[in-house]
Amino acid sequence: MAQGAPCKALTIAGSDSGGGAGLQADLRTFFANGVHGMSAVTAVTVQNSVGVRGVAEIPPDVVAAQIKAVTEDIGVDAAKTGMLASTEIILAIVAAIDEVGIGRGARTPLVVDPVAASMHGDPLLRADALDAYRTELFGRATLVTPNLDEVRLLVGVDVTDGASQREAAKALHKLGAQWVLVKGGHMHDDPECTDLLYDGAEFTELTGPRFATRHTHGGGDTLAASITSALAKGATVPEAVAHGKRFIARCVEASYPLGSGVGPVSPLWVLPG
């Protein structure tokens, strides 16, 4: 007997040929959270565990058409963005999500993970596209989830402790996002991973374990995708972020080596055996 369809989530992101990060991480995270995953591909990266060898951007109108195609027929309960590559792609996404009702104030919540570079430092966003994040995308975000490098690029705040993390959250909130999650995972002096959630009124610290592994490729994507999964199922933002934090901790614990470089975090622990 056919079962009812599960909740549905869309990732607007780049492909990682090595399968560690990007839309591959998003789709397996949606699956592991019991959510039907869909993708609007923004770029194809030529990549392995050592680094990014090349990037081919998808034409902006094709990115927009993917968003419209899945929204009009299948429906989207929550969406996220990852690698967006260029200003032109961001502008096409903004027009498409406005048209179909994705984003802050619309029917479908939007998580914006402002991916700027791979963990090896390879650029995944043209430098001139930061402005489109600031002026176009953040104001449409239900939640933004920058890491510390992205915080520095977007608002020029160097996060080194709790006070600067709060300052960064305030500056990011001013750019128009409804909720801000400043991830502290890269603050290596902290024996734990402390992320800060802010809605313009209240700060909430979320603390998780720090694991001694270098295999954390796709960690940011997996966190944002697990938050998006919970939003698709109807959770509030604080509930979804708390879920994401628990989920990513287990994925980092279950990470594995791959190739000669950096291996991925993994949601395989949800499966038996």
Contacts with ligand PXL by CB under 6 A lie at: 13-14, 16, 21-22, 45, 47, 82-83, 115, 118, 124, 218, 220-221
- Which of 21, 132 has the CB closer to ligand PXL? 21
- Which of 13, 67 has the CB closer to ligand PXL? 13
- Which of 77, 150 has the CB closer to ligand PXL? 150
CB of 152 to ligand PXL, least distance (A): 16
Q: 226: Cβ–Cβ under 8 A, 6 or more apart, which residues?
A: 29, 33, 243, 244, 247, 248, 267
State which residue has the least CB distance to ligand PXL.
22
Q: Give how far Cα 37 sits from Cα of 108, 145, 166, Å.
A: 15, 20, 33
CB of 12 to ligand PXL, least distance (A): 11
Over the Cα atoms of the chain, what is R_g? 17
CB of 115 to ligand PXL, least distance (A): 5
Q: Which pair of structure tokens corresponds to residue 114?
A: 């402002």
Pure H helices in 109-199: 130-132, 148-155, 162-174
- Which of 109, 185 has the CB closer to ligand PXL? 185
Q: Return the closest-CA partner of residue 140 out of 107, 114, 178, 174.
A: 178
CB of 246 to ligand PXL, least distance (A): 20
